[in-house]
Copies of this chain bind each other. A is one copy, B any other.
Amino acid sequence: LHMQNVQDNMEHALEHMPEVFGHVVMLYINCKVNGHLVKAFVDSGAQMTIMSRTCAERCGIMRLIDKRWSGIAKGVGTQKIIGRIHLAQIEVEKAFLTTAFSVLEDQSMDMLLGLDILKRHQCIIDLHRDTLRIGSANIETKFLSENELPENAKLTESIPM
């Protein structure tokens, strides 16, 4: 009887919310850092904005890193923080957003926009319109569609923490 209920629930779910069995296209936006295109992951669950060393090299901003702020980032395993860039500008749809971020040694994602920058710039993650609005700059940018995602994004897995 119990198993029958569970089975009924699954059939109901398959019929009425098939998307919960599928995979979800994660949230990325296009931006530019020092004139270089970067596809940035938008993550309300991350405390801080980060960039990978590879991406910082490509953007030509390694010299801005303050290595006095190096260390170890915990949370999910540990990662080496090379240092921090205290003042950088991220260009989104022709607007320039001032921010600070940490640069990580081994990080598969190019850039991740965390809650620090999202709050600072009064962002609105709108999953109805599928856009990120940036209140401080009064602009809106579309989240990337699945075929525009960076390669490694297609490999990311589900679970946080």
Contact = CB atoms under 8 A, between A and B. Distances in A.
A35 interface: no
Interface in A110-137: 112, 114-120, 122-128, 135
A47 interface: yes
Contact residues of A: prevailing secondary structure: mixed
Given A19-B116, A44-B27, A76-B76, A13 B87 contact: yes
A45 B66 CA distance: 27
Interface residues of A, number: 68
A64 B19 contact: no
Closest 4 CB pairs of A and B: A43-B45, A76-B76, A122-B128, A73-B159
